[in-house]
Amino acid sequence: MSLYFLGGLLLLFSGLLFCFFGFYFLSCDYVLFLDWEFLSLNSSSFMMTFLFDWMSLIFVGCVFIISSMVIYYSESYMSGDHDSVRFYFLVLLFVMSMMMMIISPNLISILIGWDGLGLVSYCLVIFFQNFKSYSAGMLTILTNRIGDVAILISISWMLNFGSWHYIFYMGVWDYWGIFLLVLIVLAGFTSSAQIPFSSWLPAAMAAPTPVSSLVHSSTLVTAGVYLLIRFSGLFSNINCSFMLLLSMMTMFMAGLGASFEFDLKKIIALSTLSQLGLMMSILFMGFPVLSFFHLLTHAFFKALLFLCAGLMIHCMSDSQDIRHMGVTVSQLPFTCSCFCISNMSLCGLPFLSGFYSKDLIIELMMASSFNLFVFVIFFVSVGLTVSYSTRLVYYCLSFNMNSYVCQSYSEDSIMMSSMILLTFLAIFGGGILSWLIFKDPVLVVLPFYLKLLPLFFVFIGGWFGYEMCYLNFVSDVYSLRFYLISFFSGSMWFMPFFSTFLMYRGTLHLSSIFYGLMDAGWGEYIVSMSPVLYSSILSKVVTFYQMNNFSVFMGVFLFIFVVSFI
């Protein structure tokens, strides 16, 4: 009975209990507010408020279930690490911060959970303590600090309203609402890594794989989406076209970048970014419940995908390059089966978990009479998702024989057992949730060719991904002839460069000029050194007087004598 096993068991039972209450609250249309007065001072009462409705309870339940599997998986994955106990408590802190953020109807308590997520994620990203991890952690925390500042400003802005409980103002709209909404969208965009804040998400892959599984499925990156879903009542009052454009561009950019990437964890991270863009897009189209539904189904199969990838990386002596992998299916049959199931669920293959949310999202987008640009970007992004997933499966499982001969392939029973529940959820979770969340079946009436169009793009994307592995003419895309195109597409449209050295290079140059002129220049001698110079000259005069006091005395006497006679 290890610490990891007990923690995982406790979280699993808590998650199942939360899910049960969430579905019960949903069926009864019941909302529970809990006010806990923890301090009363001179007629001023300090209260902590919790909001338990079907959305917060189901989300907390899903976070706990996924976290329980990830923590149990970590017992084997982190067994050789000296700081495994510290890792365990950091992950628990991470999960509790997320829970705090989910059940808070108050911006102050949301900030507590939000800041907890940012700080603990920094500690987890730099866990392996090398220069790459430090750089990735710094990029992660500084980008997320922008969102923290946005929430802080929105807290001060809500001083105008009379209460920090945002839940009171969902049905109210006045001229001040636009300022609050812009700040909340900024916070959501930084946490969910939408353009132009996308560069931190693949950089956060420096964390251990169980952390990546947790961060990219149900905690840090989904916090921004969840916050915007909570504020979605205000979006109907403004034109969301610009936010929709940014979300769609994120979805397209991440799908394109994953097709040019060879790092296994980065491909899965970019796939998370693509799905976050999909959630944000449908949210700005006016379907918050559908966005929440896709958030849950995505959490199931993405956590499983990362756990499978973690075991494969573990067996490959920590090599993440998919070109070093191949025919792992004969060595790791169970892991590869789970890997394929989660990949197919990500692609939206019919009757797996991802199909129920993605198909509904695309059909409602088609029925919402948006323009051709939105239409094309959505379908191309769906095709790209299937394309890079097929490419990933072929490279890792069956394509080449590049795997090293000296690897120790072994499927750990602890790692395998933690995948079983997530595999079940990746297959059946979408169907169960769709029946429970949408009490009446959602009927979208479209022409026959539009109904078949998503499936057509799925098969076209799969064929294109297959061709990218095999045919010779596609290798030209990765060659030096098309270097700019492949480099531009594969580097997230140069966003990591803009977020790092291009951002601070000009200011560093300016600061070095200022340092040369002020601190190390005339300012050093006139401002900083003037007290020292004055005291130094004074001490020299005094020392000279003390050392030569007789001659100085005689000289002064003679000088006064001569002057008096003149």
CA dist 10 and 15 (Å) reads 9
The token duo for 88 is 């365990």
CA dist 268 and 472 (Å) reads 25
CA dist 414 and 208 (Å) reads 17
Burial classification of residue 254, based on how many CB atoms lie within 10 Å of its CB (0-12 exposed, 13-18 middle, 19 or more buried): buried
Which pLDDT value is given to residue 439? 80
37 forms bridges with which residues in the sheet? 47
pTM of the model: 0.86
pLDDT tens sequence across 409-433? 777 788 888 889 899 999 999 888 9
pLDDT tens sequence across 243-276? 999 999 999 999 988 888 888 888 999 999 999 9
The token duo for 36 is 């806990």
Predicted confidence (pLDDT) at residue 60 exceeds the cutoff of 90: yes
pLDDT tens sequence across 446-482? 889 888 888 899 889 988 888 877 755 556 666 667 7
CB distance 92 to 40 below 8 Å:
no
Quickly list DSSP for 83-109.
THHHHHHHHHHHHHHHHHHHT--BHHH
Distance of CA 180 to the CA centre of its chain: 22
**SS3 state of residue 317:** coil
Please state, as a whole number, how many other Cβ atoms lie within 10 Å of the Cβ of residue 251.
28
- Which residues contact residue 79 at a Cβ distance below 8 angstroms, ignoring those fewer than 6 apart? none
Please state, as a whole number, how many other Cβ atoms lie within 10 Å of the Cβ of residue 146.
14
- Quick one: what percent of the chain has pLDDT higher than 90? 23
pLDDT tens sequence across 369-383? 888 999 999 999 999
Which pLDDT value is given to residue 405? 59
Radius of gyration, alpha carbons of the chain: 30
The token duo for 287 is 């379907």
| Count helices and strands in the chain by DSSP H and E runs | 24, 2
Torsion of CA 523, 524, 525, 529, to 10 degrees: 120
The predicted model gives 26-33 an average pLDDT of: 90
With residue 273 as reference, give the H or E element that holds it: helix 264-284
- Work out the pLDDT band at 1, boundaries 50, 70, 90: low
- Which residues contact residue 140 at a Cβ distance below 8 angstroms, ignoring those fewer than 6 apart? 121, 122, 125, 200, 203, 204
Predicted confidence (pLDDT) at residue 184 exceeds the cutoff of 60: yes
CB distance 458 to 347 below 8 Å:
yes
